[in-house]
Amino acid sequence: MADKHWSLAIHGGAGVITRDRLDEKQRGGIEAALGQALDAGSTVLAAGGSAVDAVQAVVEVLEDDPHFNAGRGAVFTYEGSNELDAAIMDGSNRAAGAVAGVTHIRHPVALARAVMADSPHVFLSGAGAEEFAREKGFEMTDPAWFATESRRKALEEFKARKVSWFDIDLKYGTVGAVARDAQGHVAAATSTGGLTGKRWGRIGDSPVIGAGTYADDRTCAVSATGAGEFFVRAGVAHTICDRVRFLHETVQEAADATIKEVGELGGDGGVIVAGPDGTTAFSFNTPGMYRGRADSSGMHEIAIFGDD
């Protein structure tokens, strides 16, 4: 018989997030958005809802908020469009769903959930994913919904400077959530617009099961954010779960060791983790990560900078 304890951790991206780069208005808006998302997931869990429902609720709130690189406010590709990726995973049975390169879906995480629940597949992309969405009754959203002026300016700056293939402001604004529900099950969800100026249908770690998203009741649930190519190469989310399962590390130890490995490869970013015992952890090798957590004991924390 599982206890009734629940816990939730969320993120809105990691990167060069420092006090001198965020004014009070920006900081207030980000903290308010994280708080709204945390409340959405907490409401589900406090009512006895599932971890899967909770992480989806969190991510949908963040997908609608232009402060983050997911849904509305997603970064632009080199060609000037917004291509969205998302994944969700249920730790109780390791069911998973993911989509990549969608351009007309307001809540990509909801489409990933439909792939998990209503298709024989795990991962759909591009036009095929949108054809599936139409068959399942998803309302198609005008791509203009996702576009914001600040992201368009970031693309223009990227093209003007052409310094690297990674985000012009070095903030990886992926959003995600992990949860443990009152039944003892864990789940994870992640959503992103990818990298500013990405080309050739590039896909990062966020929708890749085992890289940016993973959940297993035997170990933990993980959602990642950062330089996706490195997280794919390190199989970050699955590696964290393996370290918990086979090395018997705590979720914090496993997360820290895996982020250290990412750093040694040359990548940066962070993860959030939730264990089936209700423990949550954050680990990141960047100056900051937009993050928050809450649980049934009354904990409610929101943080941005590394020293928060």
Catalytic residues: 174
> How is 256-285 classified by DSSP, letter by letter?
HHHHHHHHHHT--EEEEEE-TTS-EEEEES
Tokens in use for 238? 């699955």
Cβ-proximal residues to 247 (8 Å cutoff; 6+ apart), any chain = 254
Give CA–CA dist 221/89, Å, rounded. Answer: 8
DSSP symbol at 163: -
Give CA–CA dist 207/193, Å, rounded. Answer: 11
Tokens in use for 98? 């993911």
Nearest partner of 287 among 260, 301, 257, 308, judged by Cα: 308
Within a 10 A sphere around the Cβ of 40, how many other Cβ atoms? 20
HSE at residue 187, side-chain half, CA atoms within 13 A, is: 31
